[in-house]
Chains A and B, each alone.
Chain A
């Protein structure tokens, strides 16, 4: 393994091979700028299925590839801003992901088989992020929906503080799978400043954990439950989980009291 990052790769031929329709790229030690340029080039040349091996902290994977039908498989731990500003592709990570996954993402799908870090899906306005494990702080901040574009984040484990802060639209789901009974499923300040969208939590949230703008519903209306189940079905398919088992435990619905939380803050 190289110790220094490679900024320029003169000859990619021993790093790239093709297996059927799959293009396999050995990304070991390649600087993200060089790597992303190459991946974009492959996608622009019509590559639909790209597998990146030996990824080790390269940032911005998936950024700038604005094609709906491109699939990228990632082996190794990708760096921050995975799928930032992304519009279209599907990324699947067979490891943990770091911070700011799906930052301001427009569309596409990101699957993380491990845990993921902080600030996931900041300002995300479309597409899906599924994390099998736990997620960090500030997840789903300022997610927003418009028209038919409704983003969704589903996390399998637990989440840190500020889950869904300033949320303006979309769907956030937290499953708490595999958590210890005494463990809290989510941190404090859940949904602070929320003014749109909905959060579903499969577990208990105490009043002091919630932002003051958050309403709680224990009985989820049928239509919304059907939408949640459709989302979870897709999630379970990706990770080969049993949907019925997940549905055995009840969900809480958290929602904004108003679309205008600060309407009365000002005097003229």
Chain B
């Protein structure tokens, strides 16, 4: 008896199929088998399209299993199946990637302004457009002193980090993603002259040469955190929370700790890598300050970023983080991705990144401390339009995780936690990892960000803006369509139809 029927159906056109077995070889989940013909086990199918992509005859197709429950707007098939699974196992239902539930997506209800007649637009093909962004703390004030008849800046400016494009790579730990995927991100960050965050899994020694484009993460498990590693990057990041699972820790299962991961994380092979929910040395803003300055002392005062999930009280938390001495606040919205998280936290905890950015930017301005740090927004940045809207809402830069993985072939099948990724991304199985060529991956990542760069410049030009700085927090250039007045008020954005001023 099978209570749970498969999500997908695998169709093989037996006339076209020449039994080359490429689909069998390519499936990381073991859903296909070559006997006299291709036999499928749809129960194992993740719907990742690897077989479809690599079939030379276009003979295989994967589609949603049309088997239907009686239509019910209250009891969705997802909920019914969840109950079957839990009734069978008694466990926590696990998923991966980001929240896929039909909550409203605020970015899709925001529209950008453009110049017409009275205020000229700028042609980015002919005129310079500035996307360069400096991340970090700005000085309270600048003192000058007389110097040989001229003036010299007396104030020692805090250490800022320069990125040529305000798109960074989000922390995805080595362990949750493969070595090749991780290396591709390092290579692309260098090529684009931007930054990537390591995530909690450390940085393999061979990738230390990319240190100038890397921020080193320190999370509750403190995996692989030793002085050489801390100092190899441009700065450090303290992870408090993650959009997909705010307030809970991470468990990288022992199956995903082969030799090289164990070396990098500095834990024995095959043991679970447990990251407890809180960092046990941080129970308050004062404690956070203690760790921020411990990291500064350990790294010669390199910038420190604090990563939090977007939660209800995010404004006050962000204010505390900057006052505690952080140079950067990284906010991960409720749709942010993960290599593994319980459905319940992934789908029900946190708030949208658009709201969080607007609230934090507003709060910091009201308190007069916006200059103390940079806001990096993440948690489902899907397109250049999302980048522009988030910056207009108040972010200094954004970070992309899922989008970067999609550029490398990810089909968002949400099976990262199984470690069977057919695309060689979210897996540690050597035969699967081998499939992802880091150079190919890096090239696609670079292409993606360059494409976005052109698009951002295009819409900035359309708005008559020639520096990304002038767009930051420029909510006057946004209008909300189909948003309720309370949400508009929170965002600090007017409704469509409202004129300027």
A66 surroundings in chain B (CB, below 8 A): 227
Binds B, one of A21-29, A137-145, A176-184, A247-255: A137-145
Instruction: Decide if A36 touches B222 in the complex (CB within 8 Å).
Output: no
Contacting residues of chain A (232-268) with chain B, CB-CB under 8 angstroms: 259-268
Closest to A125 in B: B266
Instruction: Decide if A87 touches B226 in the complex (CB within 8 Å).
Output: yes
Instruction: Decide if B281 touches A60 in the complex (CB within 8 Å).
Output: no
* In the assembled complex, A84 has its CB within 8 A of some CB on chain B: yes
Contacting residues of chain B (337-352) with chain A, CB-CB under 8 angstroms: 342
Partner of A267, one of B92, B226, B227: B92
A241 to B211, CA, bound (A): 47
Partner of B92, one of A103, A149, A265: A265
B270 surroundings in chain A (CB, below 8 A): 259
B271 surroundings in chain A (CB, below 8 A): 168, 195-196, 259-260
A156 surroundings in chain B (CB, below 8 A): none
Instruction: Decide if A168 touches B267 in the complex (CB within 8 Å).
Output: yes
A28 to B294, CA, bound (A): 21
Render B342-369 as a binary contact track against A, CB cut-off 8 A, 1 for contact: 1000000000000000000000000000
A144 surroundings in chain B (CB, below 8 A): 222, 266-267
The 7 closest A-B pairs by CB, nearest first: A123-B222, A267-B91, A267-B89, A259-B271, A85-B298, A146-B266, A60-B297
Closest chain-B Cβ to A37's Cβ sits at a distance in Å of 9
Closest to A168 in B: B267
Closest chain-B Cβ to A7's Cβ sits at a distance in Å of 12
Instruction: Decide if B92 touches A266 in the complex (CB within 8 Å).
Output: yes
Instruction: Decide if B91 touches A122 in the complex (CB within 8 Å).
Output: no
A3 to B317, CA, bound (A): 32
* In the assembled complex, B114 has its CB within 8 A of some CB on chain A: no
* Chain A: interface residue total (CB-CB under 8 A): 47
* In the assembled complex, B251 has its CB within 8 A of some CB on chain A: yes
Binds A, one of B47-55, B66-74, B272-280, B391-399: B272-280
* In the assembled complex, B94 has its CB within 8 A of some CB on chain A: yes
A123 to B293, CA, bound (A): 17
Instruction: Decide if A262 touches B91 in the complex (CB within 8 Å).
Output: no
A202 to B262, CA, bound (A): 33
Instruction: Decide if B276 touches A149 in the complex (CB within 8 Å).
Output: no
Known A100-B281, A146-B266: A260·B272 in contact at CB below 8 Å: yes
A50 to B134, CA, bound (A): 40
Render B246-274 as a binary contact track against A, CB cut-off 8 A, 1 for contact: 00000101100000001000111011101
A33 to B93, CA, bound (A): 47
* In the assembled complex, B300 has its CB within 8 A of some CB on chain A: yes
Closest to B266 in A: A146
Instruction: Decide if B226 touches A260 in the complex (CB within 8 Å).
Output: no
Closest chain-B Cβ to A228's Cβ sits at a distance in Å of 21
Q: Which residues of B come within 8 Å of A, CB atoms?
A: 85-86, 88-94, 218, 220-222, 225-228, 230, 251, 253-254, 262, 266-268, 270-272, 274, 276, 280-281, 290-291, 293-295, 297-300, 342, 417-418
Closest chain-B Cβ to A100's Cβ sits at a distance in Å of 5
B280 surroundings in chain A (CB, below 8 A): 119, 122, 138, 141-142, 165-166
Instruction: Decide if B276 touches A169 in the complex (CB within 8 Å).
Output: no
Q: Name, among B218, B220, B270, B293, the residue most crowded by chain A CB atoms within 10 Å (CB to CB).
A: B293
Known A100-B290, A123-B221, A141-B280: A85·B274 in contact at CB below 8 Å: no
**Told that A63-B294, A106-B226 touch, could you supply 10 new A-B pairs with CB distance under 8 A?**
A59-B293, A125-B266, A142-B274, A144-B267, A166-B274, A166-B280, A261-B274, A263-B254, A267-B89, A267-B91
Instruction: Decide if A59 touches B272 in the complex (CB within 8 Å).
Output: no
Closest to A267 in B: B91
* In the assembled complex, A80 has its CB within 8 A of some CB on chain B: yes
Interface of A is mostly: loop
Instruction: Decide if B253 touches A36 in the complex (CB within 8 Å).
Output: no
A166 to B271, CA, bound (A): 13
Instruction: Decide if A145 touches B274 in the complex (CB within 8 Å).
Output: no
Instruction: Decide if A149 touches B266 in the complex (CB within 8 Å).
Output: yes
Q: Could you write out 12 A-B pairs with CB less than 8 Å apart?
A: A36-B297, A59-B297, A64-B227, A84-B298, A106-B226, A106-B227, A142-B220, A146-B262, A146-B267, A146-B268, A261-B272, A262-B272
A33 surroundings in chain B (CB, below 8 A): 297
A168 to B253, CA, bound (A): 14
Q: Name, among B89, B268, B272, B281, the residue most crowded by chain A CB atoms within 10 Å (CB to CB).
A: B281
* In the assembled complex, A134 has its CB within 8 A of some CB on chain B: no
Q: Name, among A106, A125, A266, the residue most crowded by chain B CB atoms within 10 Å (CB to CB).
A: A266
Instruction: Decide if B294 touches A81 in the complex (CB within 8 Å).
Output: yes
Closest chain-B Cβ to A139's Cβ sits at a distance in Å of 10
A106 surroundings in chain B (CB, below 8 A): 226-227
A125 surroundings in chain B (CB, below 8 A): 222, 226, 266
Closest chain-B Cβ to A146's Cβ sits at a distance in Å of 4
Closest chain-B Cβ to A242's Cβ sits at a distance in Å of 34
* In the assembled complex, A160 has its CB within 8 A of some CB on chain B: no
Instruction: Decide if A123 touches B267 in the complex (CB within 8 Å).
Output: no
Closest chain-B Cβ to A166's Cβ sits at a distance in Å of 5
Instruction: Decide if B93 touches A64 in the complex (CB within 8 Å).
Output: no
A119 to B280, CA, bound (A): 7
Instruction: Decide if B86 touches A267 in the complex (CB within 8 Å).
Output: yes
A149 to B263, CA, bound (A): 12
Closest chain-A Cβ to B282's Cβ sits at a distance in Å of 10
A74 to B222, CA, bound (A): 27
Partner of A64, one of B220, B253, B298: B298
* In the assembled complex, A158 has its CB within 8 A of some CB on chain B: no
A32 to B280, CA, bound (A): 23
Closest chain-B Cβ to A112's Cβ sits at a distance in Å of 17
* In the assembled complex, A104 has its CB within 8 A of some CB on chain B: yes
A144 to B300, CA, bound (A): 26
A191 surroundings in chain B (CB, below 8 A): none
Known A63-B297, A104-B225: A259·B266 in contact at CB below 8 Å: no
Closest to B249 in A: A166
Instruction: Decide if B94 touches A266 in the complex (CB within 8 Å).
Output: yes
Closest chain-A Cβ to B233's Cβ sits at a distance in Å of 14
A104 to B282, CA, bound (A): 13
A60 surroundings in chain B (CB, below 8 A): 293-294, 297-298
B281 surroundings in chain A (CB, below 8 A): 99-100, 103, 119, 122
Known A66-B227, A85-B230, A123-B222: A267·B274 in contact at CB below 8 Å: no
